[in-house]
Amino acid sequence: MTKLSIDEAGWLRSVEVIGSPNFDARPDNTNIKLVVIHGISLPPGEYGGGHIQKFFCNQLDTDAHPYFESIGEMTVSAHCLIERDGNLIQFVSFDDRAWHAGESQWCGETACNNYSIGIELEGCDDESYAAAQYDCLSDLITSLAERYAEIGVDAICGHSDIAPGRKTDPGPAFDWVKLRGLL
């Protein structure tokens, strides 16, 4: 992948953008210091179809699958989605607060959405993520760390780490050793 660069407004240059309405401003004087890795597939265990993109934009057709009825009213997003083939889509500027973490805590500080960047990987807890996703993710994290000085290798975690007991993603199939080797 070509080196990713982030513009002055918090948007990646040269990637697909699908603007999500599910964001707001970060609290004043908030330093971005955490990357949260998520896993998502819609419907669960199925890939492709554009359902994740529609979900993050409040356009999910709840009649398209029985599972969608249970999540159709949710208003969530992430800063980015990395699809199975490594395609990267941005939904929210990194300078804004995406609604990805929910009730959460990291290093004793609550409300992780305030100071984190949420990256969704198309996948599920118990199926290996694709090599292209790890490559894209490592490039993205490297670019984020260059732009936001407080993001270091110790500031990368899973959704399950900041919301234990409530969330399990990216799951045991996510290879943390592989990711750290790429950074």
Give me the active site residues, please.
120
Q: What is the CA radius of gyration of the chain?
A: 15
Round to whole Å and give the CA distance between 110 and 116: 11
Round to whole Å and give the CA distance between 64 and 113: 30
Round to whole Å and give the CA distance between 28 and 16: 28
Measured over the CA atoms of residue 61, residue 67, residue 70 and residue 74, the dihedral's sign is negative
User: Per DSSP, what are the bridge partners of residue 109?
Assistant: 106
Round to whole Å and give the CA distance between 60 and 57: 8
Nearest to residue 42, comparing CAs of 3, 78, 6?
A: 78
Round to whole Å and give the CA distance between 153 and 145: 9
